[in-house]
A and B are shown apart, each in its own frame.
Chain A
Amino acid sequence: MKISPEKALAIATLSRLEISPEQAAGLSVQMDDILGYMDKLNELDTSSIEPMYTPVEQPGFLREDEVRKDFERTEILRNAPETDGEYFIVPRIV
């Protein structure tokens, strides 16, 4: 499928990114080029192949679900752009 500048703008919106019409024009060409190259995979018949999502072969494990405190609230809030000392502050939603 051809990536038009309009399509690039729509993908940017889905990605929570903002791009200018000029950027969209450039990105659409580059994305088209890259996705065109990726179509190479269609040369292979993989209908009977199980997808491999990770190289880890061991089964995952779960830790005990217990309450614990690893960090102080002040430490967690230290990197936040805006806080009131207790919570993260974001623009008003309702």
Chain B
Amino acid sequence: MSQLFHHSLTEVRDLLRAGEVTAQEATASCLERIAATEPRLEALLHVSGEEALSQAEAMDKKGPDAARPLWGVPVIIKDVLATVGMPTTCGSRILENFVPVYDADCVTRLKDAGAIILGKANMDEFAMGSSTENSAFKVTKNPWDTSRVPGGSSGGSAASVAAGQCFASIGTDTGGSIRQPASFCGIVGLKPSYGRVSRRGLIAYGSSLDQAGPMTRTVADAAEILQVIAGHDPKDSTSVNAPVPDYLAAMGQGESLKGLRLGLPEQYWGEGLSAEVDAACRSAVELAASLGAEIVPVSLPHTEYAIATYYILAMAEASSNLARFDGVRYGRRSSQTQDLATMYTRSRSEGFGEEVMRRIMLGTYVLSAGYYDAYYRKAAQVRRLIRQDFLNALGQCDLICGPACPTTAFAIGENTSDPLQMYLTDIFTISLNLSGLPGLSLPVGLGKDTGMPVGLQLFAGNMEEAGLLSAAQTLETHLPKLPEPPLA
């Protein structure tokens, strides 16, 4: 059973349910895979191998439980989500020794569903970054080419899933941090609608933008995970109190895309897009058309303002959210603590990395007296225009479709000296977070120049994940399957 990692989550779940594989075998398989790949990949910050095996042994003694849809399935959690008894560092020195006393709501739901939490995935510090190079602990490598980044900030999660270290991971997406690394690593990444999955226990970066979601090897796997983690949480005031549809019922239904209107925004298909990404994505759109989808031109006219809008809002929210890290109740405290103000300042300066400090300072600036209206309020107004663009476009089509990223995965170190250039790589993902709508990155092939994965992004209306997943799965069924990453 050592090759179990080749299977998808739904395949392993079925084997577990039928008793053909034990929870211990599934867990051991992932741990073996971690041992074999982690020295080169560096995707994980913490592995709870013994605890996971012990939990699996206890589960096997009782036998498969049909009422628990993820019974015995090993998963990895991005290190920004709180996990009881397991370190939660946010990729930061300031939380190096932090062990939460409660689980994030989505972690509780996974455990209740029978999933085995294997460990925590590396990430850009406090989810600030697009390459996982901003982690205070290690730089995760892309399993398709270890000289390249896996994307960020859920780069550890994406690399871990792509390399078969687990059957699914939970990432978080503030400006594209699920979809961009999914695209770079050749997996499926779903950012649910804002409020669909509870944010309780998700250590906040940009509170009005952050959203947890599944990172998996297939669309059906993403539906399985979403079915478990979605739902209202009365302890999260941003959680939407609406029934959870049956996402699984939408799986395997579509042989064709007949009747689907697929909107192509002109702003996503022009300048700045690399030739290989353009070719792979256009080929997937042609496939969709051949399956019966009607291709509709649409426009998102405020796209060029999205990056400026996003970074103003995200940095402002970050400067406020990260004020809680003061060395008093948790986290690092500087040894130079002669007075309270010095203790705050030294603890924060020793604990935070360069990118986090830069964003806190920019956030402080845009919120400061005299600049609030010019930056923060202005950005919040443009945010409404960007959302209205999506609503207008979705009035003309069922799903919007464009590349997830302008390029395939870039080289480690390529963009680190120029933060603005790094921010510009998020151009195709950011608008969706501003709008609060769901989006999915689907691997559609390998770029002909770099041989690296290309992701096609599909956007849907608010809370319309079922239709999004259904269309994505139909497309996935007809696309050539990606080979295993060379790291395998």
Report A's interface with B, CB cutoff 8 A. 3, 8, 11-12, 14-19, 27, 30-31, 33-35, 37-44, 46, 49-56, 58, 60-61, 63, 71, 75-76, 78-82, 88, 90-91, 93
Which residues of the other chain, A, contact B450 by a CB distance below 8 angstroms? none
> Is B410 in contact with chain A by the CB < 8 A criterion?
no
Number of A-B contacts (CB under 8 A): 161
The distance from the CB of A78 to the nearest CB of chain B, in whole angstroms, is 7
Q: List 5 A-B residue pairs with CB atoms under 8 Å apart, sorted by A's residue number.
A: A30-B419, A30-B420, A49-B384, A51-B384, A61-B237
Report the Cα distance A8→B364, complex, angstroms. 11
| A30→B358 contact, CB < 8 A | yes
| B364→A14 contact, CB < 8 A | yes
Q: How many residues belonging to B are interface residues under a CB distance threshold of 8 Å?
A: 72
The distance from the CB of B203 to the nearest CB of chain A, in whole angstroms, is 13
| A11→B234 contact, CB < 8 A | no
Which residues of the other chain, B, contact A61 by a CB distance below 8 angstroms? 234, 237, 241
Binds A, one of B131-139, B182-190, B308-316: B308-316
| A76→B331 contact, CB < 8 A | no
Q: A55-B436, A79-B331, A88-B328 are in contact. Are A93 and B240 (CB under 8 A)?
A: no
| A81→B362 contact, CB < 8 A | no
| A54→B357 contact, CB < 8 A | no
Report the Cα distance A60→B158, complex, angstroms. 34
Residue of B241, B329, B364 near A88 (CB, 8 A) is B329
Q: A30-B358, A79-B99, A81-B331 are in contact. Are A46 and B385 (CB under 8 A)?
A: yes
> Is B130 in contact with chain A by the CB < 8 A criterion?
no
Report the Cα distance A81→B330, complex, angstroms. 6
The residue of chain B having its C-beta at the shortest distance from the C-beta of A54 within the complex is B208
Residue of A18, A55, A80 near B387 (CB, 8 A) is A55
The distance from the CB of A89 to the nearest CB of chain B, in whole angstroms, is 9
Which residues of the other chain, A, contact B326 by a CB distance below 8 angstroms? 16
Report the Cα distance A2→B348, complex, angstroms. 26
| A19→B349 contact, CB < 8 A | yes
Report the Cα distance A44→B364, complex, angstroms. 24
Q: A16-B344, A46-B381, A90-B343 are in contact. Are A79 and B364 (CB under 8 A)?
A: no
Which residues of the other chain, A, contact B362 by a CB distance below 8 angstroms? 31, 34-35
| B238→A54 contact, CB < 8 A | yes
